Structure 1
Amino acid sequence: MKKSMQGGLVYSTEHGRMCPQCRQPQAQCCCKAAAPTGDGIVRIRREVRSGKTITVIYGVLLEASALALLAKELKALCGTGGTIKDGVIEIQGDHRELIAKKLATRWTVKQAGG
């Protein structure tokens, strides 16, 4: 378990990330601290981390459970792995065009970065 400088639990090996407001696991958060905010434009960019390319999708205004379902659908579409971290979907590999085409049916999509 990790504790923040102020003494609050921020991560539990049993539950994962904890909400800083209500101190519940983020999947069971009862406050609106985890509510999605943004301008309504989904941005997709490519990043290189430790020599590996990943596709990062942010700006998707969905609750945590719906975001998890979308991430699962995108991972299946690309045939690769990925994760969700702090409301941002990370997909292994460079799949910007494929993901942009899929998400353009529901949102305004912009490709960012190189």
Structure 2
Amino acid sequence: MDFKDQLKNLFPEHQETAEPAVEKPSIWLQDAPILCKYEKRKGKPITILEGYTGATSDFKMLAKEIKTKLSVGGSFKDDKIIIQGDYRDKIMAMLKGKGFQVKRVGG
């Protein structure tokens, strides 16, 4: 007996309502690949994503999603996403899963 069956036993008159489907905003996919670079600044590794030609708000949304999925810090400056640490492989896999073309640059 699962949780829904138990609730039906407790509240027999209750009618289950369908939850509205939440649409995720679509991100514009581009023809040119996004460049995924690796650099060291002040001795610390960073990953830089650049080359997105869509709306700035979409790129900011993508930056926030990457930071939360990887649980790392980062920022969005000058049409570039800067992620703290060397996460090129994970970021590239994540972007390819979304349908982006990604090109690895450096190191």
| TM-score, shorter chain, exceeding 0.5 | yes
1:89 to 81, 87, 105: 81
Q: CA RMSD in A?
A: 1.5
> Which 4+ stretches in 1 moved above 3 angstroms?
none
3-state SS of the aligned residue for 1:107? coil
Number of residue pairs the alignment of both structures matches: 77
Aligned positions of 1:53-64 closer than 5 A: 53-64=45-56
2:37 to 38, 42, 45: 45
Larger Rg computed on CA atoms: 2
Structure 2: distance between partners of 1:110 and 1:91? 16
Residue ranges of structure 2 left out of the alignment (5+ in a row): 1-29
Structure 1: distance between partners of 2:31 and 2:79? 14
Which structure shows the higher helix fraction? 2
Residue ranges of structure 1 left out of the alignment (5+ in a row): 1-37
Overall identity of the aligned pairs, in %: 39
Q: TM-score, normalised by structure 2?
A: 0.67
